[in-house]
Structure 1
Amino acid sequence: MATPPVTEMSERAREIFRLVVEGYLESGQPVGSKALAQDDAVNLSPASIRSVLADLEATGVLAAPHTSAGRMPTEIGLRLFVDGMMQMAEPSQAERNAIERRLNEPGPIEQALEATSAMLSDLSGAAGMVMVPSREPRLAQISLVPLGQGRALAVLVGEDGAIENRVLEVGNTPANILEQVSNYISARLPGRTLADASALMRQEIADGKSALDSASQDLVERGLAVWTEDASKRPVLIVRGQANLLDESAIGDLDRVRSLLDDLENKQSVADLLENAREAEATRIFIGAENRLFALSGSSVIASPYRDREGKVVGVLGVIGPTRLNYARVVPMVDFTARSLGKLIG
């Protein structure tokens, strides 16, 4: 039998379906006819309730995991509920203030991304995920500091205040040459991404417009190559709160949780999933087997793109957990966090 849209359910079937889903999402346990009969919103006998539950099970929106254990929504039923019945619970002003305060703590953008992932985990009771912005940071300054033994410390400063350190092999390059190279690169860095600055300097060197000697030119080339390679190897995904997935309800479903944790170890695959949400205008919800990656673990993902002040998508954030996530609360929380992070990325 085909799954009916919410509008085609009878009023009493719709009410019982809603109560079963909400009860399951709150407790993680199947909901029985006895519990439903005690609800003031249901004015039916236990026998009539059981008849409605059987009809809903026949359509595929509810399932009985064990005999006489009550009913719980299937993944199809969850999708039906999320798309057609769920009432969003917008974040309170206190929650909004807490999110914005956490994101606006001083520090580099990587620290804000870490905080975002941890915060989403705390708010949802699941694992929080943030994709690192695909946009390269714009640079402000570089300094090369001699360390001795043929090495130098490259200190790279971004316009956003982020600082990155790299150790370079410089051979017997004198300190005054390191300073000359620092000044040359810094004069061409401001407002440019590393790739842009690299292209400009290589072109100047190739055209003979650089005042640097050959040794200094080689140092510039090697230094830029190291930074560019490092940037490409940065983690694409920050995941925090995996321990939340090992709550009491997971004890009877350890295989599913183990499968989910294994999936999260493959961060590139999870990042590929989040890429599907990049072009979405609003928060997207992936429930269980709707996504191939989490088909075995039966998990749900709530993801939202975050944009810079020009409206360009620079990353995706979200949460992942069991299908009994509190969608009504988590969806608007993810959406608000994405908008707040976008303001910070600017």
Structure 2
Amino acid sequence: MSSPPISELSDRARDIFRLVVEGYLESGQPVGSKTLASDASVNLSPASIRSVLADLEQIGLLAAPHTSAGRMPTDSGLRMFVDGMMRVAAPTAEERAAIEKRLAEPGPIEQALEQASTVLSDLSGAAGMVMVPTREARLAQFSLVNLGQGRALAVLVSEDGGVENRVVELGEAIAPSVLEQASNYITARLAGRTLADAASAMRAEIKAGKSQLDVASRDLVERGLAVWSEDAAQRPVLIIRGQAKLLDESAMGDIERIRSLLDDLENKQSVAELLDSARDADATRIFIGSENRLFALSGSSVIASPYRDREGQVVGVLGVIGPTRLNYARVVPMVDLTARSLGKLIG
């Protein structure tokens, strides 16, 4: 049964519904008629309140758990509240400062991604999630530095100034001239390209016998490319922090649901696919409980927002996941701010 639009509810039904949802989101517990009757804004008798609650339950906006006389919103009720009644609260000065401070810490972009996931978890009390950017940086320079003992350090410098290092196992001593020849060859073909594009072009050139490299240098180029390709394939598609926060005191009475959620989070590829569905969103997206197949059993909600680079291109998605009683009004702008702050760091 589909729920009626909010405009079809009477004023008193809207008021009671809003108080139930807000009370549930604040406490995580069903809200009873006695609690509602004690609210100064409610000008109804307990009997009238119970009648309104019954009507809201009948149309699928509220539910009554077996263990309580109170009511709590259904997934449909939460969706109606989020879309039509929620009053979003801007991040506090303390929250804004915490987000900007954590993301301003010096380090590679991978560290900023971890910090974004962690600060979202810390501030929301849920688990924070960040998708690793899928767009590769364009590269400017490559060099091989002899470390001795049959090893070399491969150094990649991107056009935005990022630097990444990998150790290449050579297995034998390599003359400095060979390292220099391989470095120059790769650098000449990297300019303005992604690693994947440059690697493809170099491999094709070597295979066709068009390169001027000697045997030793060709082998070194192949080893260097293999190290970077393997590393890229093993990088996580998703960074999740704060799963332990899902096991708070209120979760202990619903441990099976939380166990189901933690099992879902182990399947990072599926979670990443869910987040990826928010990539084309103009604003923060909210997935509530059974609306999404992945988290239908655990009854969890996801708040997700795409983050963009300085050119305005979407490069990833971040967000939080937690029980459906998330404080949406507070967490939605928090996620949005984190996405915008992280985007400023992406070249």
Q: CA deviation at 1:204?
A: 4.3
Q: Tell me, yes or no, if structure 1 residue 80 matches structure 2 residue 91.
A: no
Q: Distance in 2 between matches of 1:207 and 1:53?
A: 76
Q: CA deviation at 1:328?
A: 0.5
Q: Tell me, yes or no, if structure 1 residue 101 matches structure 2 residue 96.
A: no
2:321 is matched with 320
Q: Distance in 1 between matches of 2:191 and 2:105?
A: 25
1:166 is matched with 167
Q: Distance in 1 between matches of 2:32 and 2:255?
A: 24
CA contact (8 A) 2:30 2:68 kept: no
CA contact (8 A) 1:168 1:223 kept: no
CA contact (8 A) 1:108 1:160 kept: no
1:263 is matched with 264
The SS at the match of 2:345 is: helix
2:273 is matched with 272
Q: CA deviation at 1:53?
A: 0.6
Q: Distance in 1 between matches of 2:228 and 2:308?
A: 26
Residue type matched to 1:288 in 2?
Answer: G
Q: When the two structures are aligned, how many residues end up with a matched partner?
A: 346
Structure 1, 154-163 or 130-139: larger mean CA deviation: 154-163
CA contact (8 A) 1:144 1:179 kept: yes
Q: Spell out, residue by residue over 1:133-163, the C-alpha distance to the aligned partner (whole angstroms, 9 max, x if none).
A: 0001223433323344543332333344242
Q: Spell out, residue by residue over 1:11-30, the C-alpha distance to the aligned partner (whole angstroms, 9 max, x if none).
A: 01100000000000000000
* Paired residues for 1:116-195 under 5 Å: 116-158=116-158, 159-195=160-196
* Paired residues for 1:227-306 under 5 Å: 227-306=228-307
Gap change, CA 1:125 and 1:67, over 3 Å in 2? closer
Q: Distance in 2 between matches of 1:107 and 1:128?
A: 20
The SS at the match of 1:285 is: strand
Q: Distance in 1 between matches of 2:105 and 2:210?
A: 43
Q: Distance in 2 between matches of 1:227 and 1:168?
A: 13
Structure 1, 223-232 or 30-39: larger mean CA deviation: 223-232
Q: Distance in 2 between matches of 1:331 and 1:98?
A: 16
CA contact (8 A) 2:146 2:176 kept: yes
Residue type matched to 1:13 in 2?
Answer: A
CA contact (8 A) 1:107 1:161 kept: no
The SS at the match of 2:344 is: helix
TM-score by structure 2 length?
0.94
Residue type matched to 2:230 in 1?
Answer: E
CA contact (8 A) 1:152 1:170 kept: no
Q: Distance in 2 between matches of 1:209 and 1:67?
A: 76
Q: CA deviation at 1:132?
A: 0.1
Q: What root-mean-square deviation, in Å, do the aligned CA atoms of Structure 1 and Structure 2 show?
A: 1.9
Structure 1, 71-80 or 98-107: larger mean CA deviation: 98-107
Q: Distance in 2 between matches of 1:93 and 1:160?
A: 32
Structure 1, 260-269 or 98-107: larger mean CA deviation: 98-107
Q: Spell out, residue by residue over 1:19-48, the C-alpha distance to the aligned partner (whole angstroms, 9 max, x if none).
A: 000000000000011110010110111111
Q: Distance in 2 between matches of 1:175 and 1:36?
A: 80
Q: Distance in 1 between matches of 2:2 and 2:130?
A: 37
The SS at the match of 1:49 is: helix
